[in-house]
Amino acid sequence: MAIEARNVSKHFGDFAALQDVSLTVADGALTALLGPSGSGKSTLLRIIAGLETPDSGEVIIGEHDVTSSPARSRGVGFVFQHYAPFKHMTVHDNVAFGLSVRKRPKDEISARVDELLGLVRLEGLAGRYPSQLSGGQLQRMALARALAVQPRVLLLDEPFGALDAQVRAELREWLRRLHEEIHVTTIFVTHDQEEAMEVAEQIVVMNKGQIEQAGAPRELYESPANEFVMSFIGPVNRLGDAFVRPHDIQILPEADGTGTEALVERVVHLGFEVRVELKLHDGREIWAQVTREEAQQLELVEGQILSIRLPQPRVFAS
Amino acid sequence: MSSSGPGTAAVSTPFAGSRAAKGPGIDPARARARSARRRRIGVRTVALGYLAMLLLAPVLMIFYRTFEHGLAPVWNAATTPSAEHAFWLSLEIVAIAVPLNTAFGIGMALLLERGRFWGKAILGLLIDMPFAISPVVVGLSLVLVYGKTGWLGDWLAEQGIQVIFSVPGMVIATAVVSLPFVVRETIPVLREMGTDAEQAAETLGASRWQTFLRITLPGIRWGVVYGVVLTTARALGEFGAVSIVSGRIEQQTQTLPLYVQDRFENFDATGAYTAAVVLALLAIGTLLAMNLLTRRAHRGTVD
């Protein structure tokens, strides 16, 4: 089901959380709302879900204007950052909740719950209570609970924000595969650009209550619309008004006079990637990203003076 | 690291020497631990002594004096018509006032914690008033409103309803003095629970009523139970306000605490002590019931 937000604004007291935001998400797409905290991304998600009322603007899900419908009749599945488990219920009863308030027959509920617990790989844990689960398991339970009622759209608010790095990486991969399997229109909120790039088909970059740019991950990386998007997505060197990607800086074998002279201040080996911190002759500091092999060939040593070639820097009109 | 070795040794030598000079047994660390232990024991003695003098000794004395001459006089005192009437009347008032305050308390807690409206702070203060105002004042003010010459008295009399000097007035007085307990015990639990679970239930299609019954109420149940226990204990023991609105008519508007007072004033020590013991047992029973409930619940659903 396609999702559309039209000219949505929302204030909390004097704070403008969203200012005239419009957004379209295609049916079946997996979209990330990416931005720093306070950018309005969670507020937009909650407005789409019906958990928050916009001051102005409309929300359309599928063909229907749902702006004035309550959350319970919007057909959205919502997953909270802190999982929002029903602590007094077992995993089975948590997942069954949406079906049992719809008064479905018992055996139908049981069959559906079993199927979902299989989908989120929690088969053996149906009788446990939330306090007996790990963070990753709780998040998968929350997802199964949201999917149980066959939502038209799935909304996830910082779904992996409270998990440790390894579980995060696993769940990201898993969310992407799950989406391929069930193809429900999905929007997730994140402040982690790597997570957005890895999981989403479309990224919507938000800042200060507005959308800066929306597009495919590669599009945002290669042709950012402005300074904010460029510096938020991917690493960046700032030289005055200009921006240069670290991997676009070319290090020449010797100080042969054709490039800009630079002093190697530090060489940081990060596995495949090597980070070279440089000081230009005018005192400006930048860093370059090279591969392990390049670094070996160049025989980079701290204190060495070499030449670099800067690409055409990107300048954004302010 | 190795260069600091001699330095450390130089510092530690005089320290070791001074310890040796003071002789064995005066290890400063051990001395400190001992004085800490002594202080801890001191604090405990004071705390327990205070509790014993103020609470334990009087209660034990009541039990002792009651059963001093065996069980027979106690049984006789407990089964007089006046005593039995007072016992059942107390239970009747509790059975009405406590459910009323529970329903009101949960609703008010939700309103104060979740609502956003003008005058919320004032409403919160108003709820706490019965804690601050003397029960006697509560009783008097109820007479001013519901009494024969009171503000609503005429109208109530025309309808054939007698509030003051009868059970309705006593229920109202009891409800007023025990009003804040459920509200005050429920609010912190509601706050701690947050709204995520309720919102999750809403997105899953639950109506407000379903969300309240299946998510909110189970989430706050221990706060509510604790509030109900305190309300019950307070309601059972209420004296001041009920004393004024009841008119203390024997076998009509005499609750157990009023009966204790009446027996005491009439030099019927056994009657007074017996009724007091019954009151104490009711209160202890309430506390024990809560304790058992809480423990069983914690074993069942690990919160």
Instruction: Judge if A54 and A197 occupy the same domain.
Output: yes
Q: In this predicted structure, what is the pLDDT of residue A318?
A: 62
Instruction: Judge if B219 and B108 occupy the same domain.
Output: yes
From the list B199, B204, B218, the residue facing A101 with the nearest CB is B204
Alpha carbon B102 to its chain centroid, in Å, reads: 14
Among A231, A261, A292, residue at a domain's last position:
A231
- For B221-270, write each residue's pLDDT tens digit: 989 999 999 999 999 999 999 999 998 888 899 999 999 999 999 999 89
| Structural domain count, chain A | 2
Which among B196, B203, B216, B296 is the top mutation candidate for probing chain A, defined by the most A β-carbons within 10 Å of its own β-carbon?
B203
CATH code of the domain containing B94: 1.10.3720.10
Q: In this predicted structure, what is the pLDDT of residue B88?
A: 96
Check pLDDT > 90 for residue B141: yes
Domain assignment of residue A75, given as a range: 3-231
CATH code of the domain containing A212: 3.40.50.300
Mean pLDDT confidence for B211-222: 94
Instruction: Name the minimum distance, in Å, from the CA of A99 to any CA of chain B.
Output: 8
Among A177, A209, A231, residue at a domain's last position:
A231
Instruction: Judge if B167 and B44 occupy the same domain.
Output: no
From the list A80, A102, A129, the residue facing B200 with the nearest CB is A80
Among B10, B43, B66, residue at a domain's last position:
B66
| Structural domain count, chain B | 2
Q: In this predicted structure, what is the pLDDT of residue A308?
A: 87
Which among A42, A88, A95, A113 is the top mutation candidate for probing chain B, defined by the most B β-carbons within 10 Å of its own β-carbon?
A88
Among A231, A252, A267, residue at a domain's last position:
A231
CB contacts of A88 in chain B (<8 Å) are 218-219, 301, 303
Alpha carbon B73 to its chain centroid, in Å, reads: 32
CB contacts of A104 in chain B (<8 Å) are none
Q: In this predicted structure, what is the pLDDT of residue A257?
A: 65
B291 in a structural domain: yes
Instruction: Judge if A270 and A300 occupy the same domain.
Output: yes
Closest-approach residue (CA) in chain A for B205: A72
CATH code of the domain containing A265: 2.40.50.140
The Cα A154–Cα A121 span in angstroms is 19
A236 in a structural domain: no
- For A33-78, write each residue's pLDDT tens digit: 999 999 999 999 999 999 999 999 999 999 899 999 999 999 999 9
**Exposed, middle or buried by CB within 10 Å (0-12, 13-18, 19+), for B190?**
buried
DSSP A193-231: HHHHHHH-SEEEEEETTEEEEEE-HHHHHHS-SSHHHHH
A300 in a structural domain: yes
Q: Are A303 and A261 in contact (CB under 8 A)?
A: no
From the list B202, B204, B302, the residue facing A131 with the nearest CB is B302
Instruction: Judge if B251 and B211 occupy the same domain.
Output: yes
Domain assignment of residue B258, given as a range: 71-300
A276 beta partners: A267, A288
ipTM (interface predicted TM): 0.85
* CB contact (8 A) between residue A84 and residue B199: yes
Over its length of 318 residues, how does chain A's per-residue pLDDT go in tens digits?
899 999 999 999 999 999 999 999 999 999 999 999 999 999 999 999 999 999 999 999 998 999 999 999 999 999 999 999 999 999 999 999 999 999 999 999 999 999 999 988 899 999 999 999 999 999 999 999 999 999 999 999 999 887 888 888 888 888 888 899 888 999 999 999 999 999 999 999 999 999 999 999 999 998 899 989 998 988 888 887 788 889 888 888 765 667 788 888 999 998 889 999 999 888 888 899 999 888 888 888 888 888 888 888 788 876
